[in-house]
Amino acid sequence: MDHYQNFINGRFAPSSVQEDRIEVRNPSTGRLIATVPETSQAGVDAAFAAAENALPEWSNRPAVERASVLHAVAAKLRSHVEPLARTIVEEQGKILGLARVEVQFTADYFDYMAEWARRIEGEIIPSDRPGETILLFRKAIGVVAGILPWNFPFFLIARKAAPALVTGNTIVIKPSEETPINAVKFCEVLMEAGVPAGLINVVHGRGPTVGRALAGSPRTAMVSFTGSVETGAAVMTAAASNITKVNLELGGKAPAIVMDDADIDMAVKAIKASRVINSGQVCNCAERVYVQSRVADEFVDRISAAMRQTCFGDPLGEEPVDYGPLINEAGFRKVETLVAGAVRQGATLVTGGERGPGEGGYYYQPTVLTGCRQDMDIIQNEIFGPVIPIVKFDELEQAIQYANDSDYGLTSSIYTRDLNVALKACQDIRFGETYINREHFEAMQGFHAGWRKSGIGGADGKHGVYEFTQTHVVYLQRT
């Protein structure tokens, strides 16, 4: 078993015998696979110092030179896809194919963000005064704190570090304590790629201690956080004492609306994929389905059949599987409680609803529930598992009203062949993203930004790059 360390100022910090260690387990088997440190305040301070020392030279480099460092990271990542993917599978439990996609996508994301280097432009603003020019610059903010969840742990490193670096910031990252090993492996890639010391630092630890120390530090210029709504509120509270900028990517409860003219095959395929990918543990995926009454029976029959055919188990086992375990016992209990609660409140279990076989792992059967109502917990709360709760509706207006009736506002989708229906939905639905006739999954050139409690600010694309900049306006008076 390996005992991993923090990565500070371009190298792995020496370990201390007194260190409190966090155990990392494989969710497929429950087996202990590694430990990482619970970083002390001195460790957090050392990471800040490294990021601060690297900042002036880095932010003053021409952006295109910064971009070449990002391209170098992307190239090295592509030469280690297989071992990196296996690390992700071992500690997080997604299937190998998806883990490979995650690593490739992470490399692509570094390249994509590097391409912004020559396009981060300022503005020249017309003045009211004769002889005056007003210039708006976009500048680095400083040291960014990136706090990560466990569900796409490797990609999330890129989503924080790549835009932070291309805009001239440096970063201190805290991976989730559930999935820290992939971040260690990422740092090994940084060393191989020759990334200058101090640009990216990684400190391990629990949220209320190390996460809190990062979010609440006056040395943090911006916190970029991805995780649950509850923790997002705690991060905001910690950041408030220093008026630190927060960028929050939080939970979702995405509605999928299936109209009676929809291509039902396509809707079934996309919604099933949305609930099965990563064992249903994805913030943007369809989490509640609204089906128009006339096609409800057909849709329920088909999606239940598709879910029954889905196989799950140890992603590194002998048989190929569609999905693996849930992340841990607490995650498993949450899914179990929501399904049991829905049945108690009157929903009908069409298929699933039980713990799956698999020694030591947190496996949950593919599950479909019908007869769900808007007031049920399973329709209002995020469910991180392979579960599809279905509600019937008669008219589009009703479906949109149900969809909007949520604390969350991240993604949404509609399946219809009628362009007018799709346009009406786009006009009235109150979410950061809407997918029409396709599965829920955002593109790196879009803007992933939730409404309501799903977040503040966003990630990806031009707007995601600008999140990591601050403006400086200069008034230039000709004398």
C-alpha span between 214 and 233 (Å, rounded) = 15
Query: Catalytic one among 177, 178, 283, 439?
Result: 283
Nearer to ligand NAD, 90 or 177 (CB): 177
Q: Do residues 105 and 204 touch, judged by C-beta distance below 8 A?
A: no
Catalytic annotation present for 329: no
Burial category of 230 from C-beta neighbours within 10 Å (exposed 0-12, middle 13-18, buried 19 and up): exposed
Is 231 a residue that touches ligand NAD (CB under 6 A)? yes
Residue 285 a catalytic site member: no
**Smallest distance from the beta carbon of 272 to ligand NAD, in angstroms?**
20
Q: Hey, which residues between 25 and 64 contact ligand NAD (CB under 6 A)?
A: none
Q: Which residues from 238-267 bind ligand NAD, rule CB under 6 A?
A: 238, 249-252
228 sits near ligand NAD (criterion: CB under 6 A): yes
Size of the site for ligand NAD (CB under 6 A): 31
Decide: helix, strand or coil at residue 391: strand
How many Cβ atoms sit within 10 Å of the Cβ of residue 307? 24
Phi/psi at 241 (nearest 5 deg)? -65, -25
Nearest residue (CB) to ligand NAD, 226 versus 406: 226
Decide: residue 433, CB within 10 A, 0-12 exposed, 13-18 middle, 19+ buried.
buried
Which listed residue (73, 283, 372, 425) binds ligand NAD by CB under 6 A? 283
| Closest distance to ligand NAD from the beta carbon of 12 (Å) | 20
Q: Is 285 in the site for ligand NAD (CB under 6 A)?
A: no
Cα distance between the two ends of the chain: 70
Residue 436 exposed, middle or buried by CB count within 10 Å (0-12, 13-18, 19+): middle
Residue choice 226, 304, 406, 434 for contact with ligand NAD (CB under 6 A): 226
DSSP conformation letters of 398-450: HHHHHHHSSSEESEEEEE-S-HHHHHHHHHH--SSEEEESS-S---TTS-B--
HSE-CB at 341 with a 13 A cutoff on CA atoms is 15
Q: Is 279 left (phi over 0), alpha (psi -120 to 50) or beta?
A: left
Nearer to ligand NAD, 84 or 215 (CB): 215
Residue 389 CB burial class (10 angstroms; 0-12, 13-18, ≥19): buried
Scanning residues 120 to 179, which ones bind ligand NAD (CB under 6 A)? 147-151, 174, 176-177
In Å, how far from its chain's centre is CA 417? 31
Residue 430 CB neighbour total at 10 angstroms: 14
Q: Please identify, using beta-carbon distances, which residue of 117 and 449 lies nearer to ligand NAD.
A: 449
- Contact status: 235 vs ligand NAD (CB under 6 A): yes
The nearest distance, CB 319 to ligand NAD, in angstroms, is 28
Among 34, 107, 141, 215, binds ligand NAD (CB under 6 A): 215
Closer CB to ligand NAD, 238 or 300, in the complex: 238
Q: From the list 34, 47, 157, 234, which residue makes contact with ligand NAD (rule: CB under 6 A)? A: 234
By C-beta, is 210 or 268 nearer to ligand NAD? 210
Site for ligand NAD in 385-414 (CB under 6 A): 410
Between residue 433 and residue 472, which ones bind ligand NAD under the rule CB under 6 A?
A: 448, 450, 455
Within 347-386, the residues that bind ligand NAD by CB under 6 A are 382
The span from the CA of 432 to the CA of 346, in Å, is 31
Shortest gap between Cβ of 144 and ligand NAD (angstroms)? 14
Please give the torsion angle defined by the CA atoms of residues 370, 373, 374 and 379, in that order, rounded to the nearest 10 degrees: -40
Output 314 or 460, the one with its CB closest to ligand NAD.
460
Among all residues, which ones are annotated catalytic? 249, 283
Which residues of this protein are in contact with ligand NAD, per CB under 6 A?
147-151, 174, 176-177, 206-208, 211-212, 215, 226-228, 231, 234-235, 238, 249-252, 283, 382, 410, 448, 450, 455
